[in-house]
Amino acid sequence: MSKYGKIRTIVIQSGRKKKRMAIYTNAEKEELNGEQIIKLMCRRWGQENYIKALRLNYLVDYSPGFPTEEIEEQPLVDNPEREKLTPREASLAAKLQKIKAEIGEKVIESATGKAAEKITLQELKEKHLDLFAEAIGREGEKLLIGQKIDQLPKEIPFDEAHEGRRQVRFNYERKCFLDCIKMFTYAMDKKMCEILLSYHDRQDVWPTLAMIVRRGGFVKLEGNKLYVRLRGFKNLQIDYAARHLCENLNKMRPFTLDKFHFPVHYEVV
């Protein structure tokens, strides 16, 4: 490839479905062998899938509402008056340069005899009085604008620059709290997936877990124990995995987080 030079192609194939995928790299064999490249690429794919799962399933990039608080000391920003005058000064400088170049051409023509006849500088001024007058006017206007720019401060407070509108900052305390809950939920789901791997196929473990935790059921307090009963599944493989997941959760002796600390028992009916 013209941009990357010589390219290696490494093809990986899945063991079960025999699907193939190509990886392209400009790393020489002496730098990285095929196994190292595959590990690095799979790790990258894993990170991309991890981010997608957090965004789609756990909404880590979402916050319900954005409470704000006003900043007492407004930050300094570029002075908009200076920003308005600076382009005008640059435009005048460009026009002045163009006029000076035109005057210079006239002077050179008169000095080298390219014109019909040589003339003095005084005669040149009288002949092209409009150019000299325009150059002097542009120079004076540019000087006045430059003085105005020098008198204005480079930076002013935000509210002064935006007609009294004050800048605010987001209160991230709520979002931080919600993000902690989301990441904790992800960690629990990941742990339950590790448990399900003993009773279920690896490829479909995440969809199976989603079906189990979102399954409707019943919650009932009997005696001093809280029973959480999920409705059974028609798919025998999922039903088998759900029952064993409940058994493993019960071995952890879960209990409610209120003041009563009722023991919780999970089951599939």
Residue type, 2: S
Is the pTM for the entire model greater than 0.75?
no
If one compares 36 and 88, the residue with the highest pLDDT of the two is 36
Same domain, yes or no, for 144 and 94? yes
Same domain, yes or no, for 200 and 237? yes
Give the bridge partners for 267, in sequence order: 229
How many Å separate Cα 253 from the centre of its chain?
42
DSSP at 6: S
Among the three residues 150, 168, 186, which one is the final residue of a domain in this structure? 168
3-state secondary structure of 255: strand
Same domain, yes or no, for 193 and 239? yes
pLDDT digits (tens, 9 = 90+) for 242-264: 999 999 999 999 999 999 999 99
Per the prediction, the chain carries an average pLDDT of 84
Among the three residues 113, 142, 168, which one is the final residue of a domain in this structure? 168
Using pLDDT thresholds of 50, 70 and 90, give the confidence band for residue 152.
confident
Q: How many domains are there within the chain?
A: 3
pLDDT digits (tens, 9 = 90+) for 90-145: 888 888 888 777 777 766 666 665 444 555 666 666 666 677 777 777 788 888 88
Contacts of 174 (CB under 8 A, 6+ apart): 63, 65, 67
If one compares 130 and 207, the residue with the highest pLDDT of the two is 207
The answer to whether position 205 is within a domain reads yes
Position 211 pLDDT exceeds 70: yes
Predicted local confidence at residue 82, as pLDDT: 83
The mean per-residue pLDDT over the stretch 154-163 comes to 82
Using pLDDT thresholds of 50, 70 and 90, give the confidence band for residue 199.
confident
Its domain, for residue 97, covers 76-168
Region at 56 (left for phi over 0; alpha for psi -120 to 50; beta for the rest)? alpha
φ and ψ at residue 4, rounded to 5 degrees? -115, -10
Give the bridge partners for 24, in sequence order: 9
Among the three residues 120, 140, 168, which one is the final residue of a domain in this structure? 168
Predicted local confidence at residue 165, as pLDDT: 81
Give Cα separations from 92 to 87, 105, 147 (angstroms).
Answer: 9, 20, 14
Position 228 pLDDT exceeds 90: yes
Contacts of 64 (CB under 8 A, 6+ apart): 178
The answer to whether position 3 is within a domain reads no
Same domain, yes or no, for 88 and 154? yes
The answer to whether position 69 is within a domain reads no
Count of CB atoms situated within 10 Å of the CB of 261: 10
Question: Which residues of the chain form beta strands (DSSP E)?
Answer: 8-13, 20-25, 68-70, 76-78, 155-157, 168-170, 217-222, 225-230, 264-268
The answer to whether position 67 is within a domain reads no
| Residue ranges in 113-172 assigned as alpha helix (H) | 121-127, 129-151, 158-161
Same domain, yes or no, for 161 and 194? no
Same domain, yes or no, for 159 and 99? yes
Predicted local confidence at residue 116, as pLDDT: 47
Same domain, yes or no, for 164 and 185? no
The answer to whether position 66 is within a domain reads no
Same domain, yes or no, for 181 and 256? yes
Same domain, yes or no, for 80 and 149? yes
E strand or H helix at 100:
helix 80-112
Same domain, yes or no, for 219 and 244? yes
Distance CA 230, CA 249 (A): 14
Predicted local confidence at residue 74, as pLDDT: 85
User: Contact 246/226 with Cβ under 8 angstroms?
Assistant: no
Same domain, yes or no, for 162 and 187? no
